[in-house]
DNA sequence: CACTAAAAAGGACATTTGTCCGAACTGCTG
DNA sequence: CAGCAGTTCGGACAAATGTCCTTTTTAGTG
C-alpha cells in the first residue's frame, strides 16, 4: 500500500518494455521528444494524438477547475504514461501535463498505439495493468485525502519524499493536497514548532 | 463531462456485450449470482477470485480508513464491473462492495476473465475502455471534491439524481462526499432556507 | 393511544481551513 | 550599500466543517 501511494509515480516495468520495443525492428514508431521546465506537453481540453511515456525527468499532471483553482493529479516520472486515457474514449484531455525538470519522453502516435495494443500481447497486458494501478492509486489517494487532516498528509509525504520541498514548489504541493499555500505554511510551522519541543 | 461525473455509474455497452457472451457457446463461464440489501459481495483486503458485473440493482463500493471513517468510491449500477482492478496486479481488494438494493450480478472467474481478455478482442477493448473511464471519473471527482464547498457538491448531485435522498441514505451520502452527517444536514437546511426565500 | 427505545436532527462550541492584506525577505541595479 | 520590485510569509479575522451531546421525531408495542 505505501508503495502504491507514492506521490511520484513511476513504472519501471513498462519503461523497460518500451525500451525493448524501441530497439526492436518495430522501434520506428517510438519517437523521442524533450521538454524544458514549465513547458506544457499537453493542454487541458485538447484533442490527443499520441501517448507519452516519461523516460527521464519529472512532470506534473493537473487540471484547472472553473473556479480557477488548479488541482494536481499526479507527479510523474520514469515509466509513467499519459495521454492514454483519452485514446480509449476519444475524449479531450482532462489534464494538462507540464514539465517540472528537463524531461525526455517517448511518444507513440495514436494509430501505432492501437496497433501495439492489438498485436503485442505483452504490451496489451502491461497497459491493462497500468490502468488498473492508476485506478487504484487515484481511488486510494482520494479517500486518504478526504479522511485525514492536512498535517497527517504532510507527514506522510515527507516520509516518502525526504527532499520534498526542494523537489516540488510550495504552490504545487498545495495544489496537490487541494489546500491553500497559507494552510500549507501554517502546517509546516506547527510541525516545526512541535519538533523543536522534543 | 456531466455524463462522466454521474455519481451512479453505469456501462450499458459493456453489459450488452456480456449478455451477448452469456448467450454464446462460451456463455458457460458467466455465472449469475444475487445479493440482498446490506449483503457484502466482496470484502476489503480480501483476495479476489472473480470479476463481477452488475446486471440489476444498486451497490456501493467503499473503503474503511484506519481512522475508522468510511469513504464511498462509487455507487454502481447496470453494467459496472468490480474486482477487475485486483486481477491485474494480484492485489487484495482495496474496497468492499455491498448491495444497497436487491442485485443480480454476473460473475466471471479469474481464469475465464483472463481467457476472455486474451481471446476476445472486443472484450479486451471494452475492458481497456472501461478502465480508462474509471481513471477519468475518479480523477475528475477527486478534483471536484477538493475544489468546491459542500453546498456546490450537493446541488450538483441533486441536479443529477432528483430522488437523491430517497435512493441513498444520508450516511452513505456523507461518506460519498467525505463529510460528516452533521455537515450534510446543515447544508441541506441552508439550501432549504434559501429556496423558501424565493 | 400512551409509552418507550432507537434513529435522526439540530444547538453550542471547538477546530480547521480560507481570505485578505501588510510585513519581511531576496536578489537586483545604480 | 541604498533603494526597489517581486516574491514569500504570516497575522488577524472570517467562514466552513467537525465534535459532542441534547432534543425531536419515528416506529414500534402493550
Residue A2 in this model has a pLDDT that exceeds 50: no
pLDDT at residue B197, as a whole number: 64
Cα B188 from Cα A91, distance rounded (Å): 35
* CA–C1' B68–D29 (A): 35
Yes or no: say if B4 and B136 are a contact pair by the CB < 8 Å rule.
yes
CA angle B77, B82, B85 (to 5 degrees): 145
Asked if the Cβ of residue B186 lies within 7 A of any atom of strand D, the reply is yes
Instruction: Please compute the mean of the pLDDT values over residues B11-27 and round it to a whole number.
Output: 96
Structure confidence at residue B5 as a pLDDT band (50, 70, 90): low
Digit-coded pLDDT (tens) for A16-68: 999 999 999 989 999 999 999 999 999 999 999 999 999 999 999 999 998 88
Closest CB from B71, B121, B138 relative to A135: B138
For residue B138, list chain A residues with Cβ-Cβ distance below 8 A: 135, 138-139, 142
Digit-coded pLDDT (tens) for B20-38: 999 999 899 999 999 999 9
Choose from A64, A70, A139 for mutation: most chain B CBs within 10 A: A139
For residue B89, list chain A residues with Cβ-Cβ distance below 8 A: 129, 132-133, 136
pLDDT at residue B177, as a whole number: 96
Instruction: Give the residue among B62, B70, B54 at the shortest CA–CA distance from B19.
Output: B54
Category of B90 on φ-ψ map: left (φ > 0), alpha (ψ -120 to 50) or beta: left
Cα A14 from Cα A20, distance rounded (Å): 10
Structure confidence at residue A162 as a pLDDT band (50, 70, 90): confident
pLDDT at residue B154, as a whole number: 94
Yes or no: say if A50 and A109 are a contact pair by the CB < 8 Å rule.
yes
Cα B81 to its chain centre, rounded Å, is 8
pLDDT at residue A198, as a whole number: 62
**What grid cell was written down for B52?**
463481477
Average pLDDT, chain A: 93
For residue B140, list chain A residues with Cβ-Cβ distance below 8 A: 63, 94
- Which nucleotides of strand D come closer than 7 angstroms to any CB of the protein? 8-12, 16-20
Closest CB from A67, A95, A136 relative to B94: A136
Asked if the Cβ of residue B39 lies within 7 A of any atom of strand D, the reply is no
Digit-coded pLDDT (tens) for B84-125: 999 999 999 999 999 999 999 999 999 999 999 999 999 999
Query: Do B85 and A135 count as a contact with CB atoms less than 8 A apart?
Result: yes
Task: Give the pTM.
Answer: 0.94
Amino acid at each position: 500500500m505505501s508503495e502504491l501511494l507514492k506521490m511520484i509515480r513511476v513504472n519501471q516495468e513498462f519503461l523497460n518494455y518500451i525500451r525493448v520495443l524501441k530497439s526492436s525492428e518495430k522501434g520506428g514508431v517510438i519517437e523521442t521528444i524533450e521538454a524544458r521546465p514549465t513547458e506544457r506537453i499537453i493542454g487541458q481540453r485538447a484533442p490527443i494524438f499520441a501517448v507519452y511515456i516519461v523516460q527521464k525527468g519529472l512532470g506534473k499532471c493537473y487540471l484547472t477547475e472553473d473556479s480557477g483553482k488548479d488541482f494536481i493529479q499526479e507527479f510523474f516520472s520514469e515509466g509513467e504514461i499519459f495521454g492514454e486515457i483519452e485514446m480509449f474514449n476519444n475524449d479531450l484531455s482532462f489534464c494538462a501535463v507540464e514539465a517540472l525538470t528537463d524531461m525526455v519522453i517517448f511518444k507513440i502516435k495514436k494509430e501505432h498505439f492501437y496497433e501495439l495494443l492489438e498485436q503485442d500481447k505483452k504490451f496489451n497486458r502491461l497497459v491493462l495493468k497500468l490502468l488498473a494501478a492508476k485506478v487504484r492509486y487515484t481511488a486510494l489517494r482520494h479517500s486518504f485525502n478526504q479522511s485525514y487532516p492536512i498535517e497527517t498528509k504532510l507527514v506522510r509525504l515527507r516520509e516518502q519524499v525526504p527532499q520534498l520541498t526542494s523537489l516540488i514548489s510550495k504552490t504545487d504541493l498545495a495544489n496537490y493536497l487541494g489546500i491553500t499555500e497559507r494552510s500549507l505554511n501554517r502546517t509546516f510551522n506547527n510541525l516545526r514548532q512541535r519538533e523543536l519541543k522534543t
